Amino acid sequence: MPLLRTRLTTLLVMSLFGLGTCVSDTDVTDVPGGADVARTEAARPAPSLTARPPASSQPSRTSAALSLLVSDARAPGAALVSRTPSSSRFESAGPGIRRTDRFRAGSITKTLVATVVLQLAAEGRLRLSDTVEHHLPGLVRGHGNNGRLLTLRMLLSHTSGLYDYTAAVSAPAPTTPRAALRIALARAPAPLGSYRYSNTDYVLLGLVVKKVTGRSYADEATDRIIVPLGLTGTSFPGERTALPSPHGRAYTWDPDSGGPRRDVTELDPRPAGAAGELISTLDDLDRFYSALLGGRLLAGPQSRELLDTTATHGAYGLGIYPQRLSCGLTVWGHNGRISGSYVRTATTADGRRTLTFRVNTDAIPDASLESIEQTLLDAEFCRSGEAPRTRP
């Protein structure tokens, strides 16, 4: 399945946007608390992860895959937290990332926004078949764009055809949702109903939430998701450029030219908005996706809507996407890529096993990231003797 490119990088960076040994810190009890263009080539296998005979002195396949993010992809540091109902496990490679660190989670924001919209649908306060024009009259017009033809379901599934405002690299970085929309609506859309990942879709959804509830998407997600699940390391920064403590450093550079590394720990998150401003931790993202797929945040009809990929021919649901692994298991989740950070969360369809990993840079070549991510998810979820779990 595709690795979605949640690039809030080139546009945002102006205003915001050696091999380390893996170290494992394992908890035997559960952590308390209870919240993109498609890949077109197959991930390359990593022979070094399969050729080693089992031995207690060798790192696990997951640890070895995590280390590749530092040795092969040249990330300064990498880390993960794996969670099951009875345990959680922290591992890191390279220096600079601690388990408790806050970091920018980029487009993982979209899953929280989608969850809020689905909850509002369950409450009868909106319908996924509602048009954008119904909630935001006159806003989406011009250059072939027409809010009368766009439904909320299209926004959630990236089938609106709206131009992705973050792709306009020559435009000034927008600091308001309407400024982002002006960039997008100055371009003609793609064909209606075609799958085209666009951050503009979720900027609009943020405005819809505000119109329906009278409160911001950040306030709604905080009260509906973050507080009930006890996600104490998760927040929406608004205009705040600094990360909450504790946190490490975030870096970017040009992976093609090999230019100097720049510290982008502090940045203006406003251009990301409802498409990617979230700050979180490894443990909190595990808890959120586990609760979401486990049925704690959505009722049955909305849970089914969440995972409906019919409109995108299997590529994307509503704020979440599937990835099929080498063992036949399909995991669900999202990734986030913003200046100085890349993060990916994946969970089984029942929410019982979840993995979140991150690196403290966005400057990893796409080919390396695609291959290593596939290898890492295969290593973690496709363990010998375990049959794939699927949701009926």
Per-residue model confidence as pLDDT tens digits over 220-251? 999 999 999 999 999 999 999 999 999 999 99
28-51 as b/e: b if 16+ CB within 10 A: eeebebebbeebeeebeebeebee
pLDDT surpasses 90 at 34: no
Q: Are 245 and 235 in contact (CB under 8 A)?
A: no
Question: What is the model's pTM?
Answer: 0.86
pLDDT surpasses 50 at 38: no
Radius of gyration of the chain (CA): 20
How far apart CA 112 and CA 110 sit, in angstroms, is: 5
Amino acid making up residue 385: G
According to DSSP, residue 224 is labeled I
Question: Strands, DSSP E only, in the chain?
Answer: 7-8, 23-27, 78-83, 88-93, 103-106, 141-142, 145-146, 251-252, 262-263, 278-280, 321-324, 330-338, 341-348, 354-359
Q: How confident is the model at residue 59 (pLDDT cuts 50, 70, 90)?
A: low
Helix then strand then coil, % of the chain, to nearest 5: 30, 15, 55
pLDDT surpasses 70 at 291: yes
* Least confident segment among 26-35, 171-180, 255-264, 277-286: 26-35
Output the pLDDT for position 383. 76
How confident is the prediction for the chain on average, in pLDDT?
86
Q: Quick one: which of 79, 70, 75, 86 has its CA closest to 100?
A: 79
Output the pLDDT for position 340. 97
Query: Which tokens sit at 245?
Result: 């403590």
Greater model confidence, 32 or 260: 260
Output the pLDDT for position 30. 30
pLDDT surpasses 50 at 56: no
Evaluated on CA atoms 172, 271, 237, 340, the torsion sign reads negative
Neighbours of 230 (CB within 10 A): 14
Residue 390 CB contacts under 8 Å (≥ 6 apart), including other chains: 329, 330, 349
Residue 74 CB contacts under 8 Å (≥ 6 apart), including other chains: 255, 363, 364
For the chain, the domains span 7-44+58-381
Output the pLDDT for position 4. 54
Query: Which tokens sit at 330?
Result: 């399909």
Angle CA(184)–CA(309)–CA(9) in degrees, nearest 5?
35
Output the pLDDT for position 82. 98
Query: Taking the mean position of all CA atoms in its chain, how far away is CA 151?
Result: 23
Output the pLDDT for position 29. 30
Residues linked to residue 280 through DSSP beta bridges, in sequence order:
103
Task: Give per-residue pLDDT as tens, 168-223.
Answer: 988 899 999 999 999 999 999 999 999 999 999 999 999 999 999 999 999 999 99
* Least confident segment among 57-66, 94-103, 277-286: 57-66
CATH superfamily membership of 7-44+58-381 = DD-peptidase/beta-lactamase superfamily (3.40.710.10)
Q: Are 200 and 181 in contact (CB under 8 A)?
A: yes
pLDDT surpasses 50 at 332: yes
Output the pLDDT for position 371. 95
Residue with tokens 């990236």: 158
